Amino acid sequence: MGQQIFPDLQRNEEELQRIYARCSDIVIRPFIIQGKTAMLLIYLEGLSDKNAIERQIVAPLMRVGDHPILQLQELVDRTIVVSQVKECHDFQQITEFLAEGSAILLRDSESQGIAFGLNKWEMRGIEEPTAESVIRGSREGFTETIKINIAQIRRILKKPELKIEAMKLGSVTQTSVAVVYLDNLADPELVQEVKNRLERIDIDGMLESGYIEQLIEDSPYSPFPQILSTERPDVVCGNLLEGRVAIIQDGTPFVLVVPVTFFAMLQAAEDYYQRFWIGSITRLLRYFFVLVAMLLPSLYVAIQTFHQEMIPGSLLFSMAASREQVPFPALIEALLMEVTFEALREAGIRLPKQVGAAVSIVGALVIGQAAVQAGLVSEPMVIVVAITGISSFLIPRYVAGIAIRMLRFPFIFLGGSLGLLGVVMGFIALIIHMSSLKSFGVPYLSTFGAPNWNGFKDVMVRAPLWKMDIRPKLRGNYNKYRQSPNQKPGPNRGRKT
């Protein structure tokens, strides 16, 4: 609780001048109505709608007649038509409302103020998400404004069971955060756990939802993300309909969803918008190339170094000829190419969009060709690295793709030092690690670790929509059925006889 508002308007103005000293954007405007009643209007330029303040607050007050007005609230009720009106009783509340873009009205001889929700600032319009583009599906993405993001979800999920609980995080930034869930689907214990983890956060600034992700995840030292981040409202709504909880932060278009499994990281929104066999084939292809992106360089190094007998004779002679001028062993060769490829990819991301893609592609071609001609690397290694890089592009979630890409390097070391035995041992250790992970109480490999036959309908392949009548079980109590069981299409289905 901060300093209470003074009944003396002059003292209130002096206190506000002290609080906002050296703040050129603060507007503190005293004026008099009825020729005798002193008023004080405060707002921040750039956050409040100046025209609306003059039209909806100042002008009506200046037209007040001579009839006696006893209380500020009565004055506001009679003269001002603004939908969002809140009372404030101390200077801490005043500063919070001002930071949200509200205009504050104070009256002499009263120790309370009125905050009017007339905020207006420059904001980005709704655009297609660049990191989650689809051929078929919605083109709308989240923006940096939390109210617009909530409205997009509310526009899809129209029932009052959609609950939105707001809180503030960051002692300095006072960032607005909302916990969103469907009351009849989400487990109450899960919702409470999410709120408890958020309330434990004590930090001065909350600049992006990645801060929240790092402060509430179960295993911070694991390379695998345990929280899903997305820019797509349809992805968030799909997860809410399965009983998950979304966390929306003001100032970022990335919304967090908990809990998730590893398989959710490899699922794209478009899998559900295409016919089931197209989505299933695409998903199987994605799983295969995830293994390729993680293991292909290490397998090549292991076979090239320790297991040449596994290579057909003609191919072995060709590979030996290509490596004849290479001065490095296969392990160093693979590390050199992989590090260079990752550097080019990162450079393409950081450069302006107009030149980033061209630089990364041309750089990879020029450097690869020059390295082969100089005898630093062999042609098969360039092919392996290129296939590995293309495979990593199939992973729909960027954070999951980073984890897979970084795991290539320890596997390359294992393959170069212990051969295929090292690769197999590393893969077993990886599965054990993933089996030990949890996301808000849900095992990371829950569908395989605890067999759930209904869950298998949406893991490796995607079953037809009319077969997915049972909602996947996450934890605790949940609403089991999401559709009627008799949804199979056909010419005679649904007809009355």
Per-residue pLDDT of the chain (497 residues), as tens digits, is 578 899 889 999 999 999 999 998 899 998 888 777 888 999 998 888 888 898 888 888 888 765 566 678 888 888 888 888 888 989 989 998 998 889 999 988 888 899 998 888 777 888 888 778 888 888 889 998 899 999 999 999 998 899 999 999 998 888 999 999 998 888 889 999 999 999 999 999 899 999 999 999 999 999 999 999 999 999 999 999 988 999 999 989 999 999 998 988 888 888 888 888 888 888 899 999 999 999 999 999 999 888 888 888 887 787 788 777 788 888 888 888 888 888 878 777 777 766 666 666 666 667 777 777 777 888 888 888 889 988 888 888 888 888 998 999 999 999 999 999 999 999 999 999 999 999 998 889 887 645 556 667 778 888 787 777 777 777 666 677 777 777 777 676 655 44
- Output the pLDDT for position 136: 84
Give the count of beta carbons closer than 10 Å to the beta carbon of residue 84. Answer: 10
Q: Are 1 and 92 in contact (CB under 8 A)?
A: yes
Question: CB neighbours of 55 closer than 8 A, spacing ≥ 6?
Answer: none
Residue 247 has a pLDDT of: 96
Determine if the pTM surpasses 0.75: yes
All residues at 6 or more sequence positions from 343 whose CB lies less than 8 Å from its CB, including other chains: none
CB atoms within 10 A of CB 367: 18
pLDDT of residue 355: 61
What are the structure tokens assigned to 163, written together?
């609950």
Q: What is the DSSP string of 42-71?
A: EEEBTTB-HHHHIIIIIHHHHT--SS----
The tokens of 139 are what? 């083109």
d(CA 422, CA 414): 5
* Confidence at residue 41, expressed as pLDDT on a 0 to 100 scale: 93
Q: How many CA atoms lie within 13 A of 270 on its CB side?
A: 13
Question: Are 5 and 112 contacting, i.e. CB atoms less than 8 angstroms apart?
Answer: yes
Read off the tokens for 230: 């997305």
Single out the residue of 197, 146, 202 nearest to residue 170, CA to CA: 202
Q: What is the DSSP string of 142-209?
A: --S-HHHHHHHHHHH--STTEEEEEEEE-TTT-EEEEEEEETTTS-HHHHHHHHHHHHT---S---SH
Task: Specify the pLDDT at position 299.
Answer: 93
Supply the pLDDT for residue 227: 93
Beta carbons within 8 Å of 41's beta carbon, 6+ residues apart: 27, 28, 29, 30, 31, 53, 57, 58, 103, 104, 105, 106
Task: Look up residue 308 and give its DSSP letter.
Answer: G
Total length of the chain: 497
Amino acid residing at 10: Q
| CB distance 132 to 236 below 8 Å | no
Q: How do beta strands 245-249 and 255-258 pair?
A: antiparallel
End-to-end CA gap in the chain: 70
Nearest Cα residue to 378 out of 386, 293, 420: 386
The per-residue pLDDT for 193 is: 93
Tell me the Ramachandran region of residue 253: left when phi exceeds 0, alpha when psi lies from -120 to 50, beta otherwise: alpha
Buried b (16+ CB within 10 A) or exposed e, 6-38: beebeebbeebeebbeeeeebbeeeeebeeebe
Assigned token pair, 310: 């596994």
Residue 427 three-state SS: helix
pLDDT value of residue 62:
84
Instruction: Say if CB 231 and CB 142 are below 8 A apart.
Output: yes
Question: The tokens of 357 are what?
Answer: 């893609």
